[in-house]
Structure 1
Amino acid sequence: MQYYIKADQFLLEDRLEGPGYLAIDHGRFGEWKKSLTTQANIVDWSGYTIAPGLFDTHIHGVNGYDIMDGTKEAVQQISEALLPLGVTRFLPTTLTSSSENLEQSIAAIVEATEEGLSGAQSEGIYLEGPFFTEKHKGAQNPIYFRDPDLEMFTKWQKLAGGSIVKIALAPERKGSKEFITALTEANVKVSLGHSNADYDCCKAAIGAGANTFVHLFNGMAGFHHRNPGVAGSALMAKQAFVELICDGHHVHPDVAAFTWRVKGDRTVLITDCMRAGLMPDGSYQLGEFPVVMRNGIARTETGSLAGSTLILKDAIKNLSQWSDRTWDEAWHLASLSPAHSLGREQELGSIRPGKYADYVVIDEQYHIQATVISGEIKYQKNNEK
């Protein structure tokens, strides 16, 4: 299908333009034009702004469902719940658990994606664990922690049909460096987190191929001027990406703004959302841990933050306000930067000719009016599809 979008503003990859017209050609973006000189099929979104679809690379669940439910239904429901939130792509994210539970969840993700997701599209599986250490365990279950095991990972990857694209680990665990090298050579991205590693250990892991830090400042040894730790390594490793949860609870607003100044477009906004997202306050489950959500903040019985209930577009709004920078500067941190962290920036994450036509229609308050994946409207406000 070929058509043009007409709108007041377009957040293109390198600039904000408008009013004008944007070509959509068989599910891909074409050229932006200020005016049309020929007859064309036009989808009129006058009065609105067109922005890239959002990409959540770290999300466990939402709307009462969790990837660790290990069911096809959970994956599908999460996919559908993300559409009204403007998310077009995501990484179904697991938690540390038994091999049996992880394998069940992997199988469910594969089954759901092979049948076809009706909402946001999966770009591969993200294993958060189980190769972590206990001091900064957060809501990860330490009884399943272990050293990296290439044979075990190979078994999981075979079960996944090669769809595991990312794994998080603590680099101080025995055999981590060799494991990171092997996975990097296999084009699987490695993140560092839930770790008490020192600065030199993290530098070695980055040198071996690790390219991202899991939810910066949370679940890791903090920064100290004589012992930079995991957080210090993340801030100083120029090419490394850092995940950031901008809900105002996980990271102080001024620290989040500081991180963006230091890391620039290597900042990746994530939600780390769990099943309580979009749900009322109450009792929930995160993996094997009971969780209580009060005022939108989810915590374990010991008081640890248990994921978040953050919506990705709210993370953009928050960071923009905290940093006193415009929304369009922050938007790509939740679309293009995530795609870049996975090596998918040539096809996803921004409006540029040739990329998949994933976009959202937003009003002046940045409310989602429509969500489009590969040129096809998947959600429209007051006319859900």
Structure 2
Amino acid sequence: MTYYIHADKFFLENMTTEGGYLEIQDNGQFGYYYSEQEKPAGKIVDYPGKWIAPGLVDTHVHGSLKEDVMRSDWDGINHLSEGFLQSGVTSWLPTTYTAGADTLSRICQMFGDHRGEETGAKIQGLHFEGPYFTAEHAGAENPKYLLDPDINQFNQWREESKGLLNKISLAPERKGSREFIRNVVKEGVIVSLGHSSADFEQAAAGIAAGATMFTHTFNGMPDPSHHAPSISNAAMALHNVTDELICDGHHVKKEMVRALIQLKGPEHIALITDCMEAGMMPDGDYMLGELPVYVQDGMARLKSNDNLAGSILQLKTAVKNVVDWNAATPEEAIMMASYVPAKSAHILDKCGSIAPDKDADFIVLNPDMTLSETYLSGKSRYKA
């Protein structure tokens, strides 16, 4: 049955409104938005004092709830998709780590074979973080699997995923990267640059070849320099690119978060979590792919060298953080965690905003930016 959401504020695709009514059609999709003066006839679900925003979109996430994209079976992946509703996430790109070719093939086949079967947050693609990285900035990636880009191998993985593999992060200084980028972009794949020692010119060449993003900006790359500009400087300076950003306060300090958002504008920042299996779990020992990790004081670190190893961040927390840090307004924070990541991953037609005939995936927020409720396809699926 069609019904209407009434709340104090709505974060629509093109504007933020005070009050009104949002139509949720009986097919589980959004209909029209009506102003306070246009009260519709029909069932009204009232949320006094609450704000309505699009469901969050995490385009770079490895796991949570002791589940891991690299090691979980399909039941585990579905458990993960259900769990993400607690984070306000309604769409996501399962993200791999650098691994052997056979392992990556197995993962592609699993996601391809079960496409569309998840019952929680919707899988809108598959993101390969690696294996085309540089050892110097491998971070928590396993260096023994690092390779130069191979278009034939990548196309095999795409085929095994039944076309679900739609994003790859790579280091632009690897041999053959420009040709690889140009070719996969023609096929509709999004290329993001990261885990790289590239200087400014190498990064700019990757963008000129067709890459459109930077992977967890400032992490897995040299620091910005005013004498020897690096890939970090390129992420700050180049136009019409999207910078991923982990806003847990550990990966990038809040002062630098504020600076990057101010410099690039929120329309070019995609909030991500880079969360690993310890997300929503207690401190202790975990695994990141094949590498042992310990979690303490809100951080996941490799046991071998103490490098940061992904995060335990939830996307709803990143949204609240950038507002609490005065790095963004609530409107900008929501945009950076929904519209921008969806647009950057070429899935804005499916998710990322409140607009007619899109799936009614949305969240109910308190004015302090904490999550109250998550809806998926027009049905309430999680209450805080």
Task: Quote how far apart the aligned CAs of 1:363 are.
Answer: 2.1
Q: Residue 362 of structure 2: which of 359, 362, 366 is its match?
A: 359
Q: What stretches of structure 2 of length at least 5 have no aligned partner? A: none
Q: Residue 334 of structure 2: which of 317, 331, 334 is its match?
A: 331
Provide the rounded CA distance (Å) in 1 between the counterparts of 2:328 and 2:296.
30
Q: Which residue of 1 aligns with 2:291?
A: 289
Provide the rounded CA distance (Å) in 1 between the counterparts of 2:263 and 2:29.
33
Q: Which residue of 2 aligns with 1:77?
A: 79
The DSSP-based 3-state class of the residue aligned with 1:360 is strand
Q: Which residue of 2 aligns with 1:4?
A: 4
Q: Is the 8 A contact 1:171 1:195 kept in 2?
A: yes
Q: RMSD between aligned alpha carbons? A: 1.5
Q: Is the 8 A contact 2:133 2:147 kept in 1?
A: yes
Q: Is the 8 A contact 1:8 1:49 kept in 2?
A: yes
Deviates more, 1:329-338 or 1:314-323: 314-323
Provide the rounded CA distance (Å) in 1 between the counterparts of 2:213 and 2:327.
26
In the TM superposition, what are the counterparts of 1:162-311 in structure 2 within 5 Å?
162-264=163-265, 265-301=267-303, 302-311=305-314
- CA deviations on 1:258-278 (whole Å, 9 max, x unpaired) are 010111111010000000011
Provide the rounded CA distance (Å) in 1 between the counterparts of 2:278 and 2:206.
34
- CA deviations on 1:38-76 (whole Å, 9 max, x unpaired) are 521222223321111000000000011100114112211
- CA deviations on 1:233-280 (whole Å, 9 max, x unpaired) are 111111110100011110111001101011111101000000001111
Task: Quote how far apart the aligned CAs of 1:130 are.
Answer: 0.3
Q: Which residue of 1 aligns with 2:135?
A: 134
Q: Is the 8 A contact 1:83 1:379 kept in 2?
A: yes
Q: Which residue of 1 aligns with 2:152?
A: 151
Task: Quote how far apart the aligned CAs of 1:355 are.
Answer: 2.9
Aligned partner letter, 1:60: H
Q: Which residue of 2 aligns with 1:108?
A: 110
Task: Quote how far apart the aligned CAs of 1:150 are.
Answer: 0.7
Q: Which residue of 1 aligns with 2:22?
A: 22
Q: Is the 8 A contact 1:7 1:21 kept in 2?
A: yes
Q: Which residue of 2 aligns with 1:92?
A: 94
Aligned partner letter, 2:85: L
1:324–1:68 distance in 2 versus 1, CA, 3 Å = closer
Provide the rounded CA distance (Å) in 2 between the counterparts of 1:37 and 1:363.
23
Aligned length: 380
- CA deviations on 1:183-220 (whole Å, 9 max, x unpaired) are 00000000101101111111111011100100000001
The DSSP-based 3-state class of the residue aligned with 2:77 is helix
Provide the rounded CA distance (Å) in 2 between the counterparts of 1:130 and 1:27.
38
Task: Quote how far apart the aligned CAs of 1:125 are.
Answer: 0.3
Identity %: 43
Provide the rounded CA distance (Å) in 1 between the counterparts of 2:210 and 2:45.
44
1:372–1:319 distance in 2 versus 1, CA, 3 Å = same
Q: TM-score, normalization: structure 2?
A: 0.95
Q: Is the 8 A contact 1:92 1:109 kept in 2?
A: no
Task: Quote how far apart the aligned CAs of 1:334 are.
Answer: 0.4
Q: Which residue of 2 aligns with 1:121?
A: 122
Q: Is the 8 A contact 1:54 1:88 kept in 2?
A: yes
Task: Quote how far apart the aligned CAs of 1:367 are.
Answer: 3.1
